[in-house]
């Protein structure tokens, strides 16, 4: 993956919403993916439509802990499918149910651009490495914000798939980062609380500015 987000340095007006959830300058980007320099208008329209379904900073649902999923039924599978489509259209690499206002412990992610999205239901971290890495992350719920977050480099997670089958996921690098970022969403935690004071201040300023702007 690659380049990510941030091209905001070239003096372009920040009119375009940023992609989704994590970004990755060097290596990692949680829900946001790389933003191509120029988007095809159709792709951009689809992305904007998908982003309109993603709850943004200030929505209390983003600070709420999601509930365990108890029923592995069609409704759950539809939710997973919807999350996957929104993540795809929003050009994100991860999306948690809480980000679309559903308080279920479910998220989807996809680190390889062409791979089908993976869904983790009721994920539980079983082990994390003591080795940690710091990388820049973005978030579909925090437009334009990119902050450094330190996370374990390796993680082992147990979960279920959308049919209730047990899954064991061992991930490293960007994949571990995305999983931990999305898991935080299920606990009502945003990257703003995981970065430095200075970066949090700057992020809050950016978010406040956007809230002052009418529309979009």
Q: Where are the beta strands (DSSP E) in 4-130?
A: 94-96, 106-109, 118-128
Give me 137's structure tokens: 């992350």
Contact residues for 67 (Cβ-Cβ < 8 A; gap 6+): 103, 104, 105
CA distance linking residue 12 with residue 111, whole number of Å: 28
Q: In the complex with Zn ion, which residue's Cβ is closer, 165 or 193?
A: 193
Interaction of residue 21 with Zn ion, rule CB under 5 A: yes
Active site residue 170: no
Contact letters (x/-) for Zn ion, 125-164, by CB under 5 A? --------------x-------------------------
Looking at 20-28, 104-112, 113-121, 169-177, which segment touches Zn ion (CB under 5 A)?
20-28
- How many residues bind Zn ion (CB under 5 A)? The answer is 3
Looking at 19-27, 36-44, 160-168, 207-215, which segment touches Zn ion (CB under 5 A)?
19-27
- Sheet of strand 94-96, all strands in order from the earlier edge strand to the far edge: 94-96, 106-109, 118-128, 154-160, 166-172
Q: Tell me, rounded to whole angstroms, the distance of Cα 118 from its chain centroid.
A: 13
Of 6, 18, 24, 31, the one binding Zn ion (CB under 5 A) is 31
Q: What's phi and psi for 96, nearest 5 deg?
A: -100, 150
- In the complex, the smallest distance separating the C-beta of residue 74 from Zn ion, rounded to whole angstroms, is 27
Looking at 31-39, 121-129, 150-158, 201-209, which segment touches Zn ion (CB under 5 A)?
31-39
Pick the catalytic residue: 35, 133, 137, 182? 182
Q: Tokens 């933003």 label which residue?
A: 35
- In the complex, the smallest distance separating the C-beta of residue 30 from Zn ion, rounded to whole angstroms, is 6
CB closest to Zn ion, residue no: 139
Sign of the Cα pseudo-torsion (164, 168, 173, 176, in order) = positive
Interaction of residue 34 with Zn ion, rule CB under 5 A: no
CA distance linking residue 58 with residue 108, whole number of Å: 23
Q: In the complex with Zn ion, which residue's Cβ is closer, 139 or 192?
A: 139
Q: In the complex with Zn ion, which residue's Cβ is closer, 72 or 144?
A: 144
Residues interacting with Zn ion, by CB under 5 A?
Answer: 21, 31, 139
Instruction: Give the residue numbers marked as catalytic.
Output: 182
């Amino acid at each position: 993956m690659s380049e990510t987000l941030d091209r905001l340095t070239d003096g372009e007006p920040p009119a375009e919403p940023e992609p989704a959830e994590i970004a990755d300058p060097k290596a990692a980007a949680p829900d946001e993916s790389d933003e191509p320099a120029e988007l095809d208008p159709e792709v951009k329209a689809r992305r904007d439509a998908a982003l309109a379904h993603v709850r943004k900073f200030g929505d209390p649902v983003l600070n709420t802990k999601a509930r365990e999923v108890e029923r592995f039924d069609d409704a759950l599978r539809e939710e997973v499918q919807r999350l996957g489509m929104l993540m795809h259209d929003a050009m994100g690499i991860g999306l948690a149910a809480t980000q679309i206002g559903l308080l279920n412990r479910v998220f989807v992610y996809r680190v390889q651009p062409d791979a089908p999205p993976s869904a983790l239901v009721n994920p539980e971290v079983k082990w994390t490495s003591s080795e940690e890495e710091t990388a820049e992350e973005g978030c579909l719920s925090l437009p334009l914000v990119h902050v450094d977050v330190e996370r374990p480099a390796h993680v082992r997670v147990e979960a279920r798939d959308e049919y209730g089958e047990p899954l064991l996921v061992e991930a490293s690098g960007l994949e571990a980062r995305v999983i931990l970022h999305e898991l935080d969403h299920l606990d009502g935690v945003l990257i703003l609380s995981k970065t430095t004071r200075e970066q949090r201040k700057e992020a809050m300023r950016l978010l406040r500015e956007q809230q002052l702007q009418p529309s979009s």
